[in-house]
Structure 1
Amino acid sequence: MEKAAEQNNKQSVPVLPWMRSPIDVGAFDDCLLPLLPFLDPRLEVALQNMAISSLFPVQVAVWQETIGPGSFERDLCINSPTGSGKTLAYALPIVQMLSTRAIRCLRALVVLPTRDLALQVKEVFAAIAPAVGLSVGLAVGQSSIVDEISELVKRPKLQAGICYDPEALSLDLQSSVDILVATPGRLMDHINSTKGFTLEHLRYLVVDETDRLLREAYQSWLPTVLQLTRCSAKSLFPHANTFLPSTFGSLKTIRRSGVERGFKGKSYPRLVKMVLSATLTQDPSKLAQLDLHHPLLLTTGQRRYRLPEQLESFKLICESKLKPLYLVALLQTLQGEKCIVFTSSVESTHRLCTLLNFFGDLQIKIKEYSGLQRQSLRSKTLRAFRVGDIQVLVSSDAMTRGMDVDGVTNVINYDIPAYIKTYIHRAGRTARAGKAGRCFTLLRKDEVKRFKKMLQKADHNSCPVYSVPSDSIESLRSTYNSAMEKLKETVASETHKKRKFKSSRMFKGKELNNQKV
């Protein structure tokens, strides 16, 4: 699938007609908050409390197409580099629009592919939404579904001594949140089994990291959401052309129980969609799944693949067997700067992190971060990394997309990424929000040519060789040999424990089956 996507990128023009005339985000300048038109003063204060004094170009461009002249008339497709501010670009206008109606029901849904990314996006909404009286919920499976239900659905208060009809009570269930940030799997759990959870009033759907969400089915969450919103629109407005919409400024709206549905010049309710990625797909069949309404593309420049402007790329040429030595020597030269080291798999992540921690007294705190770990452990590690208690994070690609950690000055590709999309998402963990950053890639000699071709797809031709002192490599050899021996012992011990655990589970399973017989 990735290869097919890269073949599409070789075409000189976008596949779909509406992608041929995008709005260039680069034409916009940063905008100071007091100069941003129509911004709610309460939101301005909330942004200032986040130490935000101005909006970035992509945020200004989206604001113009939503709160400004665009007035949400078209669905938006936003293709902008990592770290350019896409989350706030959609969070701010959605919160502003929902604040105009003081009705508590689920009106905005943001879907993301991973828990960690969803937690991060929820924090952005939670920093601004309460300022205008809105509530934000989270559905990611971090806690039990019972706990999530209690946070998402408001149940009526019961008076003692009075008998209630359970069926009648279920009709009185109401949403406790205006905005929900969710992963697709847990979203489907609530759609299928949570009483009182409804998308009946949904006005905004955000599909963040669109490429990944469209590439994987996730229990058919997208067609389910779209079908539910279509059905609710038909049931609420079976004769859409027989009534007169009310008017709010230039925005025509349809009201039911105080809930707005419908937009300027339209006599029927419409779900507004915003889709975002640093590497937005151009595949018509994938984009067709979104059922976009007169979509408008906002992008940075004409190329699909773009790296952050303040990013410097370097390559380290080394022998395969000596890669750990080159990595350690590089980390020493970076002198404790905050770094993320990317590997090709969760197994490689675990082994490399274990090996690095056997390297004597590096005076660098190094921790592992991968999809095999429990969510609670990953969250704890990420918090420690954010505050600087950990200087180096060894990660699988669980952290490549969207994750924002302030102060990451270096990204290191221990294993060369297979595709330019992966390189862009990895490199995008640094050089964010206009700050400078560096990306180092360790390469064998036979990988240099392929790596150069990969970078050319992002129009990135400047990638000089970064040299580490040869005496640094030599001084680490004896420590390396000792560390490798310890790693072998550790891997053997872990493998033995896994086998023992697996066999004990199988034995218990057989015992249970025998008892049933």
Structure 2
Amino acid sequence: MAEGRPKTLPVLPWMRNPVDIELFDNCPLGFIPLLDPRLMEALQKMDIQSLFPVQVAMWQETIGPGAFERDICVNSPTGTGKTLAYALPIVQILSTRKIRCLRALVVLPTRDLALQVKEVFDAIAPAVGLSVGVAVGQSSIADEVSKLIEHPRLDMFSAFDPEVWQTKLQSSVDILVATPGRLIDHINTTKGFSLEHLCYLVVDETDRLLREAYQSWLPTVIQLSCSKNQAGFKEDEIVSSTLNYLTTIRRGGVERGFKGKCYPRLVKIIMSATLTQDPSKLSQLDLHHPLLLTSGDRRYKLPEKLESFKLICESKLKPLYLVVLLQELRGEKSIVFTSSVESTHRLSKLLNLFGELPCKVKEYSSLQHQSVRSKRLKAFREGKIEVLIASDAMTRGMDVEGVRNVINYDMPTYVKAFVHRAGRTARAGNKGRCFTLLRKDEVKRFGNILSKAGMMVCNVHPLPANSVERLRPVYSSALEKLKQSLDSKRGRKYSVRLNSAEAGEK
């Protein structure tokens, strides 16, 4: 943002005076107040010796004086530790539970991200006797049901009375990590799946979840977690509401100081690196006296130790410029982002046909089966694959340690896309670089994106002299092989779109 430009205030009053996360410092585990010793030990096994500022701020507003009295919205850069920021206080509070039932629900937009978040919960929840489940469609719904719902032992009464037997169904998990579509499947079809005891709802990657309807999962969850008519009921009265196969029972009442809020209240935690300010979207969350935690006074913020570079290249030689850049990076762990799934597939094939790369390059996209993506991501984490080619669908929240470079093969269209792409590197205080390949006509637009993201300096990255010209013959050969491959496997309609001027592009 240019100096002197008037600062626009958010429409919603509660967003105008946020708590600045940057005012908090890293805090050693031994100085975290009220932290359960069992959780401290679990964190140390994860090689965590202190909490990051966003985690300290969240602890203050949940376990500390804040005591979850308000819904919490966190707008913090990628790689700052937001997952553990909400996982740790939720696990700490639920560690005192006496009866197992579903009390915390975490909703994320993609399977890969949901599985990643479950790994964080799996690392700390068992230490205090909590069970974590996942509902993402990775396996059949029957397999998920067997892990989420506990069936009672058959006795002489329930064996002959199906209604009595079904009323004894109960949750096998205390915490559920889910994607919206599979969550709705369980709500509509799974006997015994109930939200009647739900206390905590985490909406991670909020912008994307609010932008796409996902079978109206949010109003459904809110409706089933809260009584429809709270006014006029005492705390010990029971209110029932029914939706499809799910019956929800929740105590009714009016919470002191906030008319119309049910008791016990469903606490909501909203997480994003690019939190929307659109009142119409945020109203869907039905937030209770929300508190905003954010980093600094900028709406969008990039990692502190991120360096940004741009490469001005000829359009028809764009893939060749990428090859030269990858050669220069010499096998450093990198993610290359394209504008579409199709472009990801074509570019990956082209690079693997090139034969002049010092690194192993693989595709990572929604065209692949979940098991393939999981294996590929594991290999990338272990260093068996140095470069992943992905589309924007894969940018959200993915945390891979040691990613040194992000390369925008296709320029991001919006500032949010740039923030999420660049956030795959320079995470947790580490250094990282972001390279963007640009045609001459894209330079000005890209400059506007950078200024909105707060990136004031973006150096031009020079390639070694004559490197592009030297590899032209090899590039032409690889391009011809790719055309032949697409002709034989996918038909001519795919190869027609691939010409020397747009190789590897959408």
Contact 2:235-2:252 at 8 Å conserved across structures: no
Q: 1:202 aligns with which of 186, 198, 210?
A: 198
Call closer, same or farther: CA 1:402–1:10 in 2, change over 3 Å: farther
Note the C-alpha offset of 1:472: 1.5
Match of 2:38 in 1: 42
Match of 2:12 in 1: 16
Residues 283-294 of structure 1 aligned to structure 2 (within 5 Å): 283-294=278-289
DSSP-derived class of the 2:428 partner? coil
The separation in 2 between residues aligned to 1:468 and 1:363, in whole angstroms, is 16
- Structure 2 segments unaligned to the other structure (5+ residues): 238-248, 495-506
Say whether residues 1:328 and 2:314 are aligned partners: no
Q: TM-score, normalised by structure 2?
A: 0.90
Match of 2:120 in 1: 124
Contact 1:410-1:440 at 8 Å conserved across structures: yes
Deviations 1:381-429 (A, max 9, x none): 1011010000000011122110000110000000000000000000000
Residues 53-132 of structure 1 aligned to structure 2 (within 5 Å): 53-132=49-128
Call closer, same or farther: CA 1:139–1:263 in 2, change over 3 Å: farther
Note the C-alpha offset of 1:240: 2.5
Residues 135-146 of structure 1 aligned to structure 2 (within 5 Å): 135-146=131-142
The separation in 2 between residues aligned to 1:303 and 1:116, in whole angstroms, is 29
Deviations 1:278-314 (A, max 9, x none): 0000000000000000000000011111111110000
Note the C-alpha offset of 1:354: 0.4
Contact 1:420-1:458 at 8 Å conserved across structures: yes
Note the C-alpha offset of 1:360: 1.7
The separation in 2 between residues aligned to 1:115 and 1:162, in whole angstroms, is 37
Match of 1:417 in 2: 412
Amino acid at match of 2:388: L
Match of 1:429 in 2: 424
Note the C-alpha offset of 1:261: 11
Note the C-alpha offset of 1:164: 2.2
Residues 196-275 of structure 1 aligned to structure 2 (within 5 Å): 196-231=192-227, 239-240=233-234, 268-275=263-270
Amino acid at match of 1:374: H
Match of 1:342 in 2: 337
Call closer, same or farther: CA 1:396–1:258 in 2, change over 3 Å: closer
Call closer, same or farther: CA 1:497–1:48 in 2, change over 3 Å: farther
Call closer, same or farther: CA 1:140–1:260 in 2, change over 3 Å: farther
Call closer, same or farther: CA 1:182–1:367 in 2, change over 3 Å: same
The separation in 1 between residues aligned to 2:355 and 2:66, in whole angstroms, is 59
Contact 2:330-2:358 at 8 Å conserved across structures: no
Contact 1:200-1:233 at 8 Å conserved across structures: no
Call closer, same or farther: CA 1:156–1:498 in 2, change over 3 Å: farther
DSSP-derived class of the 2:137 partner? coil
Say whether residues 1:193 and 2:193 are aligned partners: no
The separation in 1 between residues aligned to 2:492 and 2:469, in whole angstroms, is 35
Q: 2:303 aligns with which of 287, 290, 308?
A: 308
Note the C-alpha offset of 1:102: 2.4
Contact 2:27-2:52 at 8 Å conserved across structures: yes
Amino acid at match of 1:96: Q
Match of 1:177 in 2: 173
Amino acid at match of 1:97: I
Contact 1:211-1:279 at 8 Å conserved across structures: yes
DSSP-derived class of the 1:394 partner? strand
Call closer, same or farther: CA 1:116–1:163 in 2, change over 3 Å: closer
Contact 1:63-1:93 at 8 Å conserved across structures: yes
The separation in 1 between residues aligned to 2:404 and 2:318, in whole angstroms, is 21
Contact 2:105-2:198 at 8 Å conserved across structures: yes
- Worse overlay, 222-231 or 259-268: 259-268
Note the C-alpha offset of 1:88: 0.3
Match of 1:364 in 2: 359
Structure having the higher helix fraction is 1
Contact 1:414-1:442 at 8 Å conserved across structures: yes
Deviations 1:342-386 (A, max 9, x none): 000011101100000111242311000011111111111101101
The separation in 1 between residues aligned to 2:63 and 2:332, in whole angstroms, is 40
Amino acid at match of 2:219: P
Call closer, same or farther: CA 1:197–1:258 in 2, change over 3 Å: closer
Match of 1:353 in 2: 348
CA-atom RMSD in angstroms: 2.4
Amino acid at match of 2:268: K
Moved segments of 4+, more than 4 Å: 159-162, 257-267
Match of 1:461 in 2: 456
Call closer, same or farther: CA 1:162–1:325 in 2, change over 3 Å: closer
Say whether residues 1:155 and 2:151 are aligned partners: yes
Contact 1:201-1:261 at 8 Å conserved across structures: no
Call closer, same or farther: CA 1:354–1:160 in 2, change over 3 Å: farther
Residues matched between the structures, number:
477
Match of 2:483 in 1: 488
Call closer, same or farther: CA 1:137–1:453 in 2, change over 3 Å: same
DSSP-derived class of the 2:427 partner? coil
